Amino acid sequence: MKKYLNSIGLLLIINSSVFAESMINFQYANYSTSDKVKLNEWTLAFDKNARDFFWPYNAEIDSSVDYGLKYLNTSGQSSSTKITSQHLQSYIGKKWSDFYLKLNLGHHQFKAGSKESRTTYGIQFQTKYEKLITADLSYKTDWAFKGNRSPIMAFEKLVAKDIKTNFVIQPNDQWRMPLRFTRSNLSDTNVKTISDLNVLYGRAYPIWWWIGYNYNHTSNKNPSSKYWSPKKVVSHGPQFEFSKSFSETLSLNLGGNYGFLKENQLPSGESTYFSLSVDYGSRDVQLWSINLSRGDSKQNGSNWSMNEIGLNFSKMF
């Protein structure tokens, strides 16, 4: 860890001659499920020249080299496994015209029975073509439990190599089609893939509202008996998004979907998901957010549910 900290210290002098507004961000999340998974996660991050490629901040500098640090701490348990985790990450990024490239390097250690650690790394590429299409492509390697929120995966010491592609096609102001694909190669030889397609109709202004239909296909090439990994799960159904600003500093965001669920050869089931968040402040100055979400599924006589509450604070300086 000490050697790693010395190496990322070089980032703190990159681009020091260019004035750019920085951002500090704090996030906290409490996640729990009906099958006794409980996780507490908090994150502290620093960004020099805070940037959002698809929704730019007012003070972004296009020519600047971006860099930052992030610290993530996780603690929690399942019915039989306890886990603590610390992940320190650094990144460097650069924008060229209509595309953006970002490189990540980190050190991730955790304890679940025994202590383990590894170097994490990743690359992200973003681009867009006018208002018609945006693309977000990434590759990363890390412990598998992080992305899956599965303490059992930590106990099994599984490593994931993830490839993600996210596209948003918007042929006009009334239609949006987000497309997402994830392929996760796990160290136990399982390969998990997720394909997600949305077709939405609505408006972005003055009120953000979209209604439409979602289709999701999840598969596991080599299912494991040690963690949830069905051979195939298909879900599809209606969904909505809604966001309204009541003033320059207060806004409400809602989202949800209903899914017709089919897992392997089991009888058909159903799932629901709902989220609510309230934002106070300005993302270009100082912003507070509180987030609530709830998910439920019913299938073959069994019920499963999840709850999450989150808090987010960001400040420019």
User: What span, in angstroms and rounded, lies between the C-alpha atoms of 211 and 189?
Assistant: 38
Asked if 146 contacts 85 with a C-beta cutoff of 8 angstroms, the reply is yes
Any idea what the CATH number is for the domain that residue 200 is in? 2.40.160.40
Count CA atoms closer than 13 A to 253's CA, side-chain side: 11
List the pLDDT tens digit at each of the 317 positions of the chain: 555 445 444 444 444 435 568 999 999 999 999 999 999 999 999 999 899 999 999 988 988 999 999 999 999 998 778 999 999 999 999 999 899 999 999 999 999 988 999 999 999 999 999 889 999 999 999 999 988 888 888 888 999 999 999 999 999 999 999 999 999 999 999 999 999 999 999 999 899 999 999 999 999 999 999 898 999 999 999 999 999 999 999 999 999 999 999 999 899 999 999 999 999 999 999 999 999 999 999 988 899 999 999 999 999 99
Domain count, the chain: 1
Alpha carbon 84 to its chain centroid, in Å, reads 20
The per-residue pLDDT for 20 is: 67
Structural domain for 214, as ranges: 2-316
Alpha carbon 58 to its chain centroid, in Å, reads 24
Which conformational region is residue 301 in: left (phi greater than 0), alpha (psi within -120 to 50 degrees), or beta?
left
Alpha carbon 53 to its chain centroid, in Å, reads 16
The per-residue pLDDT for 19 is: 57
Token pair of 62 as six digits: 């296009």
